[in-house]
Amino acid sequence: MNGHWDKRYSETEGVYGKKPNPFWAQELEHCEGKTALLPCEGEGRNALWAAQRGWHVDAFDSSSVGMATCRRWCEEASVEQLVKTHISDAMNFRGNESGYDVVGLFYAHTPHSIRQQFHRRAVTWLKPGGKLILEGFNTNQLGLSSGGPKDRSMLFSIDQLQNDFKGLKVEQLETIQVVLNEGPFHQGNAEIIRMIGSLSKD
Ligand SMILES: C[S@@+](CC[C@H](N)C(=O)[O-])C[C@H]1O[C@@H](n2cnc3c(N)ncnc32)[C@H](O)[C@@H]1O
């Protein structure tokens, strides 16, 4: 059992809502291909959305409760054929052999000690020409009550992401202030960071 997250997902369904993250919904429209990977996908709001648009999705999370909810949401929407869920730690997940057209990292904050290694692994899951889409909290989120880790070293900065993802061509990388409205645990004024990067075709 992954204590903290299993407990949270057991106590509340739709911790971050059942609707997709708005940046994911917006950007997936512009992505080419048919395969998507969603690491640290929790209860599967973004996997569900992608599958409902015909994407073949792999989703993983270390929380078995989160992944069970993801499977159930996909079954209820009759898209379970398009979604494979995996209970896996980010540092062990292997992914398919050919890679994915899109990898979506949403609020996938890990301890500082593994963050860079995890981000570099995420790049290896892309196909040549594939796109990585990321949204998370930036370091100014500390002190705000709209969600996220309370440990500053788990929050993101532009310099950090530029370095972590230097294998990608960065198309967008910015910090912005938004009002989050994503389930009971992401509510209110927030300091976030968004990134889109693509892997070269050769
Ligand atoms: C804030 S939630 C975000 C869930 C989902 N991406 C979303 O936006 O709805 C963070 C998730 O990351 C997962 N997670 C954190 N560290 C992980 C790791 N090392 N391996 C796999 N999952 C991890 C947690 O179990 C949790 O479900």
pLDDT tens by residue, 56-115: 999 999 999 999 999 999 999 999 999 999 999 999 999 999 999 999 999 999 999 999
| pLDDT at residue 33 greater than cutoff 90 | yes
Q: How many CB atoms lie within 10 A of CB 3?
A: 8
Question: Mean pLDDT, the chain, as a whole number?
Answer: 97
pLDDT > 70: what percent of the chain?
99
101 lines ligand 1 (CB under 6 A): no
Nearest to residue 158, comparing CAs of 145, 142, 144, 140? 140
Evaluate: CB of 110 within 6 angstroms of ligand 1: yes
Question: What 3-state class would DSSP assign to 80?
Answer: helix
Distance 60 CA to ligand 1 centre (A): 9
- CB-based contact 77:14 (threshold 8 Å): no
Q: Provide the token pair at 132.
A: 């990585």
Burial of 126 (0-12, 13-18, 19+ CB in 10 A): buried
**Ligand 1 atom closest to residue 148's alpha carbon, by position in its atom list:** 1
pTM (predicted TM-score): 0.97
Please report the DSSP string for 91-152 in residue order: TT----SS-EEEEEEES----HHHHHHHHHHHHHTEEEEEEEEEEEEBGGGTT-SSSS-SSG
Q: Residue 159 has which token pair?
A: 């310099």
Q: What angle do CA 129, 134, 137 make, to 5 degrees?
A: 165
Residue 148 has pLDDT above 60, yes or no: yes
pLDDT at 136 over 60: yes
- CATH 3.40.50.150 for domain 3-198, yes or no, is yes
Residues 171, 162 contacting (CB under 8 angstroms): no
| For ligand 1, mutation pick of 7, 48, 62 (most atoms within 8 Å of CB) | 62
In the block, tokens 């969600």 appear at: 147
